[in-house]
Amino acid sequence: MHVLQVTPYFPPTWAYGGIPRIVDGLSRALVIAGHRVTVLTTDALDAEGRTGLALDRDHHGVRVLTARNVSNRAAYRHQLFLPRGVDEVLAKIGETVDVVHLHGHRHLLNNAAVIWAKARGVPYVLTANGTLLRHERKVGLKWMWDTFVCGDIPKHAARLIAVSAADVARHRSAGVDVDRIVRIPNGLDLGEFESLPSRGQFRKSHGLGAGPVVTYLGRVSPRKGVEHLVAAFADGALGSAQLVVAGNDMGAMSRAKGQGHGSNVHFVGLVEGVQRLALLADTDVLVYPSADEVFGLVPFEGLLCGAPVVVADDCGCGELIAEAGAGLLVRYGDVGGLQARIRTLLDDREAAAAMVARGRRYVTEQLGFETIAQQHVAVYQAVRG
């Protein structure tokens, strides 16, 4: 089977969050399973630059075709991807694609791919990964975009893949028929966590001292709740614990920094590769205080690195964390609740270790990309007819 994956950002675009990791891991797992995969993407990298990679390249057996964005600033600051020459890029694929898989909603790469697919009678599926509904920012602009640009794309998808029960509910509220929704959780590359940096490396390089390390890892956007986590550390409420906020600014960093924090709060920016793993390996409690999140990979990555987790009950991964008995849930915005749960995990290390063990077992059995790829193949085969 030949699958065309469509995503506006693909590794090494770690500044764009989880979707690049998800598409990368799924694509490589499909190739390992014997399928042919082509990725259609853009040259977006981060706030400052573009990937600069070959426009037609091999990535672990996955063919990656890249269209250049008109404006890198528009892509990063406004999620407005304006790819040049997409038709010419698509022409390189040929006529052998069996199914098109769109990742994310409201980007012009999807429009071009859907037109291309319809002209050839190729079905497409959509994993919106939290972007189906209009929320958080620029709701009016999103309404205009849906009305005049891409509103028909979800309507005509052969299947819409929801990544959690919460995401299924969002699809239903958007008017999607239940028989077109398939629930498949996001996956993780388990091999990435087989050999972790030794503990203490990140702590030493950032001068974090001897106190416990509490971590937030991810993009700092308005709905991530980082300002509530920072507030939980005010006035030494958590003793010698050090808070590390690791992530790129998506419009909420100034609000988080404006909480009047002390020397026990450290904003370290985006961390990648080995540094990311080193941070997770040094983390005593990982907190994911986000609202309106349909999944969230970071808590599961933390568990694989040995970190117990506190997760907001309004995010999709919270339902899986609860199902696995792998962490503590907290109401979004509840500063006192955050403090209490962080203290619980820091004070009762035996209970925390038991949660981590259950979480690791759950992730290994349920969320590895080999398992997730098999579930996607079943969807692809079903829509091929």
Q: Judge whether 38 and 101 are in contact, CB under 8 Å.
A: no
pLDDT for res 242: 97
Total structural domains within the chain: 2
Closest CA to 280 of 336, 213, 234: 213
Burial class (CB in 10 A: 0-12, 13-18, 19+), 231: buried
- Same domain assignment for residues 270 and 280: yes
Residues in the chain: 385
Instruction: Tell me which DSSP letter residue 315 carries.
Output: B
Expressed as residue numbers, the domain containing 157 is 2-187+368-384
- Same domain assignment for residues 13 and 104: yes
Before 197, cis peptide (omega within 30)? no
- Same domain assignment for residues 112 and 143: yes
85 — phi, psi (to 5°)? Answer: 60, 35
- Same domain assignment for residues 171 and 211: no
Closest CA to 90 of 55, 58, 61: 55
- Same domain assignment for residues 252 and 374: no
- Same domain assignment for residues 199 and 178: no
End-to-end CA, the chain: 13
pLDDT for res 166: 86
Q: Judge whether 7 and 81 are in contact, CB under 8 Å.
A: no
- Same domain assignment for residues 220 and 156: no
- Same domain assignment for residues 325 and 379: no
- Same domain assignment for residues 202 and 177: no
Closest CA to 177 of 195, 210, 155: 155
- Same domain assignment for residues 13 and 113: yes
Q: Judge whether 163 and 183 are in contact, CB under 8 Å.
A: yes
Helix, strand, coil percentages for the chain (3-state, nearest 5)? 45, 20, 35
40 contact partners, CB below 8 Å, separation of at least 6: 4, 5, 6, 7, 65, 67, 86, 89, 90, 109, 113
CA–CA separation, 74 vs 80, rounded Å? 5
Query: What CATH number is given to the structural domain containing 353?
Result: 3.40.50.2000
pLDDT for res 136: 55
- Same domain assignment for residues 181 and 242: no
pLDDT for res 257: 58
- Same domain assignment for residues 206 and 354: yes
pLDDT for res 68: 95
Residue-by-residue pLDDT tens, the chain, 385 positions: 999 999 999 999 887 878 999 999 999 999 999 999 999 999 999 888 999 999 999 999 999 999 999 998 888 887 778 899 999 999 999 889 999 999 988 788 999 999 999 999 999 999 998 776 655 556 656 566 665 556 688 889 999 999 988 889 889 988 899 999 999 999 999 999 999 999 999 999 999 999 999 999 988 877 788 999 999 999 889 999 999 999 876 554 555 555 556 689 999 998 988 999 999 999 999 999 988 777 888 999 999 999 999 999 877 778 889 988 999 999 999 999 999 999 999 999 999 999 999 999 999 999 999 999 999 999 999 999 6
